[in-house]
Structure 1
Amino acid sequence: MLAGRNAVVTGGSRGIGRAIVERLCRDGAHVIFNYASDDDAAAEVVRKVRGDGGKVRAVRLDLADPDGPERLMSAAEEELDGLDILVNNAALCPAPAPLTDTDPAVFDQVLAVNTRAVFMTVRHAALRMRDGGRIVNISTANTVRTGPGISAYAASKGAVEQLTAVAAHELGARGITVNTVSPGATDTELLRANNQPQALEAVVGMTPLRRLGEPADVADVVAFLAGHDGRWITGQNIRATGGLA
């Protein structure tokens, strides 16, 4: 359980991020999460969590802005009496396109959210997180199961995985664990927007557990790493893929 623990979750209004916020709150954590633009979705998360007796606050800001990560962490400092858990979930995943057709401006924006913001929030946590804290960075199975059209996304997440490994070494002496969770195909609005139904059916057919992942499947792995039971796991990349390597 996470009673008395304080958490920051990036990108917490929808999909996997929402499931993470709800699970951490259900386990007793006080959670601050950011969202970029969907006020209604964020308000719904807050309403549900508070209705269930949880403690949560939503902060509207765009992590693509250079000062976005610092503003989020400053807001958390004002709200919370310390930081114990950081989950970097926010990500941009543009529509698939060949590398030669990818606008450099899109590449820059993807790395701003998916990589730079993670670096900045982890840096903040390294300076201010209480000993014994937990950092979980969300990556993707696409860094292993690569394919055409995802150069910016895969590159941004590969960098996050390396940052995780280094931070685990640097923060381990303080009892702070740093891990990556890499989901496979997870049934979210983003997945369905970027993939044709037949492509998703093919993925299900190749997955040993014979279904798409659910956001809660990933959130449960994050909650394990964020809690006491995950204390001896650090520097790892947990592939939450239903068995699809």
Structure 2
Amino acid sequence: MSLAGRIALVTGAGTGIGQGVALMLAERGAKVALGYHSSDEGAKETRRRIEERGGEAMTVRADVARKAEIDAMAEEVARRFGGVDILVNNAALQLNFDFDHDDDAYDRQMNVNLKGYWQCMQAVIPYMKAKGFGRIVNISSVHGKRPTDFDTVYAMTKGGIKMLTRESAIELAKYGITVNAIEPGAIRVGRQGTKETKPFVPPELAERAQAEKRDIRWKFPMGRVGLPSDVASLVCYIASEETEFMTGAAIRLDGGSMLL
């Protein structure tokens, strides 16, 4: 499944899922633009690891909540690499606040997680149309399928990504551009990138689970949570020419945890 000659832009590529996706795209032969906002050191580390393995990468800073910065990012990638063939919309903000978000927290999550995806797509589509080829992969979440008990607004953004994917898939199909979404479950991504983020599992629940000595299979049938490489493998498949006939799909990638 070679991606040789393809040009990929991955947002949020300095940490977690984005870093794993960028590394694997480069392993498959793509030139990779590493979009980042606050994770400067992480983006540099991703680039270093790609170049050590003989790949080609560039870093480009942009706040995906700001259209001007998104447009400048896309233009810089196109100028340096000659266009954009693959967009992986991954940069996201997860605050894990209760229902009572204030207006600022609400707007920031919506502007990054949903509006940011839409505007990143707008920025790269002209380059894809020019080539008659494009692969857009929106990283969503299983929380776009089922309710959560820890962040209503985050789940709202992920539900919106599903319809953004479906509607744009219809509109862009005639240009040879596919749009698909991946809905990961729990992914081991290490330390979170924002100091505002609360623990993914509330301490009281973690303590209760520990006290009850529940096996991890109680929640994860395959015996583990996901890894960035699990998401990256699926991204590479969707980004390849082997998926020409797949568009508008939302693929759940959670090791079966949603079945329980």
TM-score, length-normalised on structure 1? 0.93
Extract unaligned runs of 5+ from structure 2.
Answer: none
Aligned counterpart, 1:195: 201
Equivalent pairs counted in the alignment come to 243
- Within 5 Å, give how 1:42-53 maps onto structure 2: 42-53=43-54
- The Cα offsets for residues 137-178 of structure 1, whole Å up to 9 and x where unpaired, read as 000001123122311111111111111101111111122111
Question: Which residue identity is paired with 1:214?
Answer: L
- Within 5 Å, give how 1:182-221 maps onto structure 2: 182-188=183-189, 189-190=191-192, 193-196=199-202, 198=206, 204-221=217-234
- The Cα offsets for residues 36-67 of structure 1, whole Å up to 9 and x where unpaired, read as 12222111111110000011111122222342
Question: Which residue identity is paired with 2:165?
Answer: T
What is the aligned-residue RMSD (CA, Å)? 2.0
Q: Are 1:222 and 2:235 counterparts?
A: yes
Question: Which residue identity is paired with 1:194?
Answer: F
Contact 1:141 1:183 in 2 (8 A): yes
Contact 1:180 1:238 in 2 (8 A): yes
Contact 2:67 2:119 in 1 (8 A): no
Extract unaligned runs of 5+ from structure 1.
Answer: none
For the residues of structure 2 that align with 1:158 and 1:68, how far apart are their CA atoms?
A: 25
Contact 1:185 1:203 in 2 (8 A): no
Aligned counterpart, 1:112: 111
Query: Percent same amino acid at aligned positions?
Result: 35
Contact 2:18 2:91 in 1 (8 A): yes
Contact 1:34 1:59 in 2 (8 A): yes
Aligned counterpart, 2:257: 244
- The Cα offsets for residues 41-98 of structure 1, whole Å up to 9 and x where unpaired, read as 111111110000011111122222342211211111211212211110000000x222
